[in-house]
Amino acid sequence: MELESYAVGIFRNISGILGYGLRYFVFKLLFGRLDSMCLVQPNVFFVDCRNIKCGKNFAVNSNTYINAVAGVEIGDNVLMGPNIVISSGEHQFANSRVPVTLQPIVKKKIVIEDGVWIGANAVIMPGVTLAEGTVVGAGAVVTKSTEPFSVVIGVPARKIKTRV
């Protein structure tokens, strides 16, 4: 994990074509799978890279945080806006006599299917599957899996329509 953080950290903030190329090279080595070139903007944070599996044509904007402690699968042609949080683990807090930091972490894999677009500042919670063609509106907090080609918005996210 330390080597992963060091390797990713060196190339995290390099801009331009050089930065994209260097980040691709590093992620090709560290990810569990990366099918083709990805466009990762500067200042994107990945945790547990070995648990990330990416398809083709993956693009993610600045300041996004992806924690793959339980696994994150990303399909083909997925677009992520800036400032997104995707975390496949969450802290428990049920026992008020035990500090949250000492309670177990529940791990649940996240699946992002082909053709998904996640808008800026969205949060994807553990265990969620974003079905094919889903659009997640800016600022949404997705706590439940979506239906194919749905558009979801809000906190918590709710379906407002189906894409045709």
Count CA atoms closer than 13 A to 130's CA, side-chain side: 35
Q: What is the pairing mode between strands 150-153 and 158-162?
A: antiparallel
Active site residue 91: yes
SS3 30: helix
Tokens matching residue 108: 């649940």
Angle at 140 (CA atoms; ends 138, 144), nearest 5 degrees: 140
Place of tokens 């904007």: 61
Among 33, 50, 91, 161, the one annotated catalytic: 91
Extended strands (E) in 20-133: 33-34, 38-40, 45-47, 52-54, 58-60, 65-67, 72-74, 79-80, 85-87, 89-91, 105-107, 110-112, 117-118, 123-124, 129-130
Which residues are designated catalytic? 91
